[in-house]
A and B are shown apart, each in its own frame.
Chain A
Amino acid sequence: MIASAHSADKKVFEISSLSNEVKELRSAFVDNRGKLMGLKKESYIETKMKEKGIGISLNPPIKIIVKSSNK
C-alpha cells in the first residue's frame, strides 16, 4: 500500500517534469516556426535580394511541357 502510493507519487513527479518538457519543446517549435515564416516571406526575400540588385520578375516563369507521343 505504502509502496504503491510512493510509486504513484513518483509517477506524478515524472509526469509534471515531462509535461514541462513538452511545453519547452512546443515553445521552441513555435519560436522557430515563427522565425522560419518570417524568413520565408516574399517581402523579406525582396528586401534581402535588393541588396544584391535582384528584383521581382515582372513576368511569370514559363513551363514548357513536351507532350510525349510514346503511348
Chain B
Amino acid sequence: MATTETNILNRLYFVAGCMFVFALAVVFKLCTIQFVDGDKYRAMAQKRTIKRFDIPANRGNVYSADGSLLATSIPKYDIAIDAVTSTDKNFNKYIKPLCDSLAVFTGKTSSGIEKKISKARKTKNQYLLLLTNLSYSEFVRVRNFPLFKLGSIRGGFVYDQTTKREHPLGGIAERSIGYERKDENNYYTRVGIDGAFGKDYLRGTNGKRLKQKIGKGEWKPIQDVNEIEPKNGYDIYTTIDVNIQDIAHHSLLGQLEEYEAEHGCVVVMDVKTGEIKAISNLGRNREGKYYERLNYAVGESHEPGSTFKVMAMMAALEDKVIDTSTVIDTKNGSKRFYGRTIYDSGAGHGKISAAKALEVSSNIGLATIIDDNYKNNPEKFLKRLRQWRLNDTLGVSIIGEGIPDIPYPGASNWSRNALPSISYGYNMRLTPLQTLAFYNAIANNGQLIKPRFLRAVKEFDRNIEVFDKEVLVDKICSDQTLSKIKDILKNIVVRGTGKKLYSETFSMAGKTGTAWTDYADIEAWRKDRKYVSSFAGYFPVENPKYSCIVVIHKPSTKVGFYGADVSGPVFKRIAQKIYTDTPLIDEIQPVEYNNPQVVKDFEKFNSISNTYKTIMPNLVGVAAMDAVAFLENMDVKVNVKLRGSGVIKSQSISKDIKLKSNQTVVLEAS
C-alpha cells in the first residue's frame, strides 16, 4: 500500500480523535470531582483540619453556710506508660530509677513494677496504666520521674486528664453533698444536693466553637465569636454548718463503732428556718468500717417506734379526749388487745397519769389511750395525722425521699390491731427526716416547716436565687397542747427514759425510741434481737434553737440497745457543742468609785517619777510596790533590795543624793 496523503491524514485524525476522547475523559472526571462528588470531598477536607469543639461549661461549686467548699471540680490525672516507644538505650538506663521513684510514690515494690513494665515492652503494650486519680501536684511530681522526663515520644509518658468532682471535707456528709454522673446512655445518676440541683443550677450549658488545626496538636478558633457561648454553672450555698456537721459525723461514728451497729443517721435542723445544719448517714461495709453509704435520713422509711408516741399523745390531747393527768392503767407489763399482747419493758407501771405514760414510754399506756378513745372512730385520729402531713412526703429537694405509710380502714395493712400499734409507732413507716420535721414544729411553736438544704444560688457575688423558709402547716395544734407536750418532752430528759442524758448546765427535751426491727420471723428475732434506737428532740428547752434526730439501726445487743444509751449520747454531744459554742454574756455596770487615798497616791507617784530621774527621792511613806517600780524606771540603773513589804520605813540612800549606775539601794518596809 502506497503512502498517500489520505493515508497519513487518516492516521492523524485517529490520533487526534484519541487525544480528544482522552481530554474529554479528563474534563469529565474533573467535573464529577468538582460538582458531583464535590460536597463529599470538601467535607472530608474540612474534617481533617476543621472541627467543631464542645467548650465544656464549668460546673458550679457547692459551699457550706459559712463559705467552706463542699464540692468542686478539679482536674485529675491518670498516668500510663507506652512501654514500646523509648529506645533500648534510654529504657535500660532509666527503667530502674523510674521504678524506684514509682515504688516510693505508690508504696509498692520496685521490682514488681519493673516486671510489669518489662513484660509490657515484650508484649508491645503501648498503654500500661500505672496511676489513677492523681492531683495536679502529684501529676507534676510523676512527670519529673526518670524516663518520663523525656516526654511522650522518647520516654513513653502518657496521661489522660479528666475533671473530677472533689469533696474537700472527705467522707463527711459525702452522701448528702452528693454527685451527679452521666452514663453512656445520657442517664444521670443524681445523689444528694449536688445531684438535686445539678440540672437547674450547677451544670451550666456547654458551648460550641469551630476550630482549625494548627501545629503542636493545638486548634485555633476560626471565628472571633463562638457559635454558642458556654455558660458556667452557678454556685450553690447550702445550709450545712461545717462545725456542727463535723461534730455530728464524729459522734455518730463513735457510737456506731462502740455499739457495732449496722447503720445510723443524724440530722440537725434550725428550728426557726428549717435549715438543715448537719446531716450524717453512716453504714458499715464488709470490713466493718463505716462510711456514707445511703442517705438513710431522707430515704429510709421505717417503723419509728416510741418517737411516734408523741404524735399519738398530741392527737389525743388536741382532741381533748384525755388530759395529761388522766389516769391510765398500764397493768403489770402486759395487756391483751384484740387477741394480741402488748408488752412494756420492765415489770410494768400500774396506774399512772397519761403524761407519766409518755415519760416512761409505756406501750400499753399509749395503746390504751388511743384504743379506748378512737376505736369507734379511727378516722378522727387518722385525720389528725393527715392534718400534720405525716402521711405525706415533705417534698425535700434531695431525690429519693422515703414514702411514709400510715394505714387506714380498708388498706391491706389495716386491722383492729392497727390503731393500738400505730399509737406506739408500729405497723406504719416514717423517715427520720419526717419525724424530725414534726418535732421541729413542736419546738417552733406549732409551725411545721419544710426542711431545706439550700440558702442561695449565686454567680460569683450576685444572688441568682435566695431561698426562704417554706411553711407546710401554720399551726399544728393549740398552744395548750403544745405547752403540755413540751413539758412532757422536757421531763423525759429530767426524769423519764432519757434521764441518763440529763445535764445540769444545759437543757434538752426529746423522746427516746427503741423499736424492734426485722421481726417478721419472731422465732429468729428472739434468738438474735434487732432494734432501732432513736432519739428525737430539740434544745435548749426555753426558746429552742435546733432540733435533732438520731437513729441507729441494729446495735449489738451485747453492748446495749436502748434509745437513751445508743442514740441519746450523739444528741447530747451536739447539744453540748452548740451550748459551749455560744458564749454566755455577762453585762456589768462600770465601777466608778473614787478612793481619795488612791488618787493621792497616784498623784504622788506621778510627781516623783516626773521630777526625779537621777536623784534619790524621799520614799518614806510610799507603798513598797510603787517605790520599787519607781527606782527601776529611773534613768540610772540601780539594784533595788527590798526587805519586808507594805510601806517604806527607811531607805539606805538619803534623799537628794545623785545615784550612780549599778548602785545598790536597800529599802526597809514594815
Chain A proximity of B394: nearest CB distance (Å): 30
Q: Are A63 and B215 in contact (CB under 8 A)?
A: no
B586 pairs with A60, CB closer than 8 A: no
Q: Which residues of A contact B221 (CB under 8 A)?
A: 12
B578-597 Cβ-contact flags toward A at 8 Å (1 or 0):
01111111111110100000
Nearest CB on B from A1, distance (A): 15
User: Are A12 and B220 closer than 8 Å at their CB atoms?
Assistant: yes
B170 interface residue per 8 A CB criterion:
yes
Cα distance, A12 to B220, chains bound together (Å): 6
Cβ of A3 under 8 Å from chain B:
no
Query: Which B residues touch A9, using CB under 8 A?
Result: 214-215, 218, 220
- Establish whether residues B216 and A57, one from each chain, have CB atoms under 8 Å apart when the complex forms: no
Q: Which residues on the A side are within 8 Å of B250 (C-beta)?
A: 43
Q: How far is the CA of A36 from the CA of B577 in the complex (A)?
A: 21
Which B residue sits closest to A26, measured CB to CB? B74
- Comparing B240-248, B467-475, B612-620, B655-663, the segment that makes contact with chain A is B240-248
Q: Are B590 and A66 in contact (CB under 8 A)?
A: yes
CA distance A24 to B84 in the complex (A): 30
The answer to whether B583 and A38 have CB atoms under 8 Å apart is no
A26 and B577 CA atoms in complex are apart in Å by 34
Does B14 sit within 8 A of A, measured CB to CB? no
Q: State the CA gap A27–B219 with chains docked (Å).
A: 25
Q: Is the CB–CB distance between A24 and B584 below 8 Å?
A: no
B137 touches A28 (CB 8 A): yes
**Is B576 part of the contact surface with A, judged by Cβ < 8 Å?**
yes
Asked if A30 meets B220 with Cβ closer than 8 Å, knowing A41-B246, A60-B583, A67-B588, the reply is no
Contact B580 A57 (CB under 8 A): yes
Chain A neighbourhood of B581, CB < 8 A: 60
Counting CB contacts under 8 A, is B409 at the interface? Answer: no
| A residues in contact with B587, CB < 8 Å | 64-67
Q: Given known contacts A9-B215, A58-B580, A60-B583, is B137 in contact with A31 (CB within 8 Å)? A: yes
Q: How far is A56 from B247 in the complex, measured between Cα atoms in Å?
A: 12
Q: In the complex the two chains form, is A42's CB within 8 Å of B592's CB?
A: no
Bound CA–CA A28/B166 (angstroms)? 13
B580 CB contacts on chain A under 8 angstroms? 56-60
Q: Is the CB of A27 within 8 A of B135?
A: yes
Query: Which of these, B166, B214, B215, B579, contacts A30 with CB under 8 Å?
Result: B166
A61: shortest Cβ distance to chain B, in Å?
5
B168/A37 in contact, CB under 8 A: yes
Q: Which residues of A contact B582 (CB under 8 A)?
A: 60
Task: Enumerate chain A residues within 8 angstroms of B583, measured Cβ to Cβ.
Answer: 60-63
SS of B interface (majority): mixed
Interfacial chain A residues near B589, Cβ < 8 Å: 66-67, 69
* Residues 3-47 of A at the B interface (beta carbon under 8 Å): 8-9, 12-13, 16, 23-24, 26-28, 30-31, 33-34, 37-38, 41-43
Does A43 contact B585, Cβ atoms closer than 8 Å? no
Chain A contributes a number of interface residues (CB within 8 A of B) equal to 33
- CB neighbours of A28 from chain B (8 A): 136-137
Say yes or no for B50: interface residue by CB 8 A criterion. Answer: no
How close is A57's CB to chain B, nearest CB, in angstroms? 6
| Cα distance A59–B577 in the bound complex, in angstroms | 9
Chain B residues whose C-beta falls within 8 Å of the C-beta of A58 in the assembled complex: 505, 576, 580
* In the complex with contacts A31-B137, A38-B170, A69-B592, A62-B576 CB distance below 8 A: no
Q: Which of A16, A60, A69 has the most CB of B within 10 A?
A: A60
Q: A42 touching B246 by the CB < 8 A rule?
A: yes
Residues in A whose Cβ lies below 8 Å from that of B166: 30, 34
In the bound complex, how far is the Cα of B169 from the Cα of A28, in angstroms?
Answer: 16
- Known contacts A27-B135, A37-B68, A60-B582; decide if A66 and B588 are in contact (CB<8 Å): yes
A51 vs B220: C-alpha distance in the bound complex, in angstroms?
59
CA distance A69 to B590 in the complex (A): 7
A42 near B590: Cβ-Cβ < 8 Å: no
Q: Are A43 and B247 in contact (CB under 8 A)?
A: yes
- The minimal Cβ–Cβ distance linking A19 to chain B, given in whole angstroms, is 11
CB-contacts of B33-75 with A (<8 A): 68-69, 72, 74-75
Inter-chain CA distance A23–B579, complex, in Å, is 42
CA distance A33 to B74 in the complex (A): 13
Q: Is the CB of B216 within 8 A of A13?
A: yes
Minimum distance in angstroms from A9 CB to a CB of chain B = 5
A4: shortest Cβ distance to chain B, in Å?
12
Q: List the A side residues contacting B72 at CB < 8 Å.
A: 30
Give the distance in Å from the alpha carbon of A12 to the alpha carbon of B586 in the complex: 64
* Nearest-neighbor residue (CB-CB) of B580 within chain A: A60
Q: Which residue of A lies closest to B251 (CB)?
A: A43
B168 engages A33 (CB within 8 Å): yes
Chain B residues whose C-beta falls within 8 Å of the C-beta of A59 in the assembled complex: 505, 580
List B contacts of A67 (CB < 8 A). 587-590
Question: Are the C-beta atoms of B218 and A65 separated by less than 8 Å?
Answer: no
Cβ-neighbour of B69 out of A16, A33, A61 (below 8 A): A33
Chain A residue nearest to B166 in the complex (CB): A30
Contact between chains at A65 and B588 (CB < 8 Å): yes
Contact A68 B590 (CB under 8 A): yes
B74 touches A16 (CB 8 A): no
Smallest CB–CB gap between B241 and chain A, Å? 12
Distance in Å from the Cβ of B108 to the closest Cβ of chain A?
23
**CB–CB A37/B584 < 8 A:** no
Taken together as a complex, chains A and B put the C-alpha atoms of A23 and B135 apart, in Å, by 11
- Is there an interface contact between B135 and A8, defined as CB atoms closer than 8 Å? no
Could you list 15 further interchain pairs (A-B, Cβ under 8 angstroms) beyond the known A27-B137, A63-B585, A65-B587?
Answer: A9-B220, A12-B218, A23-B74, A23-B75, A31-B136, A31-B137, A34-B168, A34-B170, A41-B242, A57-B580, A60-B584, A66-B589, A67-B588, A67-B590, A69-B590
A-B contact pairs, 10 of them (CB 8 A): A9-B215, A13-B216, A24-B140, A33-B168, A42-B243, A62-B583, A62-B584, A62-B585, A65-B588, A69-B592
User: Nearest 3 pairs between A and B by C-beta?
Assistant: A34-B168, A27-B136, A43-B250
